[in-house]
Structures are given as structure tokens and as C-alpha cells.
């Protein structure tokens, strides 16, 4: 049944708690705005603390929802576990995990370094995998998992961006 006050296809997330990675700019910032407009309580993350703080304050003011910014670099090996723990504790649980963070270094292959490759793999594959691994078990115990696969390849794109119990 749809709420007659909402346009068809719009989100209704009042009371839902969402973690959105890569939310300081671009698509992540737009997703955070959409989730806030739909009434979700948010934890937003990214590497740019000033941008996250500004985004958090703007979303809270515009949509009257709680928004917690957490500055983390998902290229750091310990970041996914820290983020999962902090986000869960901040909200008293989570209903949506939106793995939006991603990086790339568009350059010629001969310029590729192991450090840059490690960063790309950590942010684009390792972090979403570990976040899901830490956040999904309570959902599964409650019978609430709607979208989850492992390994994330070849369904990586779908899995990376859509894991929710909402």
C-alpha cells in the first residue's frame, strides 16, 4: 500500500537507520540527501571531514533528521571494522548499508604502483565486503536480509550498492 502523500516510487524511510559510504560528494552526497528527505537517520562517511561535517549540518537542517558524520579512509585496513562498529553503536543498529565509496587512478598501466592497487582493492572490494560481513549477521539472525551475495564477483556492482533490510 502506498502513502498518497508520496509520489509513486519515492522512498519512505522514516525510522530506518542507514550507513552511506562515500557520502561527502558526488553520488554519495546525492544519495544521502535522498535518504534524509525520505526520513532516514544517517551515518555518512568519507575522507573529507570538513565536507562531511557541512553535509551533515545541511541535511539535518533541511530535513530534520539525525545525521552523524564519520571521517574514515576505507583504504586503511582497519577502517571497515571500525566503521561498522561505530555506525552500529551510533544508531543502535542499522537497516541499510549503502556501499557507495569507490576510488580509481586512471593512468597508464606502466604507472600502476602496488600502493595504488592496494588502495583501489581496499576501498572498492575489501571495505564493502567486510562492512557487509560485520553488519549482516544480526540482520540474518532476525530474518531481515534482502540482498547479499558472496563472493561479490561477478555480481559486484549489484552487491556493492544494494544491501538493505528496509
Mean pLDDT for the stretch of residues 156-166: 47
Asked if residue 155 has pLDDT above 90, the reply is no
pLDDT tens digits for range 67-87: 999 999 999 999 999 999 999
| Cβ count within 10 A of residue 143 | 7
Question: SS3 string of 49-111?
Answer: HHHHHHHHHHHHHHHCCCEEEEECCCCCCCHHHHHHHHHHHHHCCCCEEECCCCCCCCCCHHH
Cβ-based neighbours of 78, under 8 Å, separated by 6 or more: none
β 96-98/163-164 pair status: antiparallel
pLDDT digits (tens, 9 = 90+) for 106-149: 888 899 899 999 999 999 999 998 998 888 888 777 777 655 44
Domains by residue range for the chain, with CATH: 17-161 (3.40.50.720)
Torsional sign, CA 83, 85, 88, 90: negative
Residue 157 in this model has a pLDDT that exceeds 60? no
| Euclidean distance between CA atoms 123 and 77, whole angstroms | 9
Q: Are 88 and 62 spatial neighbours (Cβ–Cβ below 8 Å)?
A: no
Amino acid at each position: 500500500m502506498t502513502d498518497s502523500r508520496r509520489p509513486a516510487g519515492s522512498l519512505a524511510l522514516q525510522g530506518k537507520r542507514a550507513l552511506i559510504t562515500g557520502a561527502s560528494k558526488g553520488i554519495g552526497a546525492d544519495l544521502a540527501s535522498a535518504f534524509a528527505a525520505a526520513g532516514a537517520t544517517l551515518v555518512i562517511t568519507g575522507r573529507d571531514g570538513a565536507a562531511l561535517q557541512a553535509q551533515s549540518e545541511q541535511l539535518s537542517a533541511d530535513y530534520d533528521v539525525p545525521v552523524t558524520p564519520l571521517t574514515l579512509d576505507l583504504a586503511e585496513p582497519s577502517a571497515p571494522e571500525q566503521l561498522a562498529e561505530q555506525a552500529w553503536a551510533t544508531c543502535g543498529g542499522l537497516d541499510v548499508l549503502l556501499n557507495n565509496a569507490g576510488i580509481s587512478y586512471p593512468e597508464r598501466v606502466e604507472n600502476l604502483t602496488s600502493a595504488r592497487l592496494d588502495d583501489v582493492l581496499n576501498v572498492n572490494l575489501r571495505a564493502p565486503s567486510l562492512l557487509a560481513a560485520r553488519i549482516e549477521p544480526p540482520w540474518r539472525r532476525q530474518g531481515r536480509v534482502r540482498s547479499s551475495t558472496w563472493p561479490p564477483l561477478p555480481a559486484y556492482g549489484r552487491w556493492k550498492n544494494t544491501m538493505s533490510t528496509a
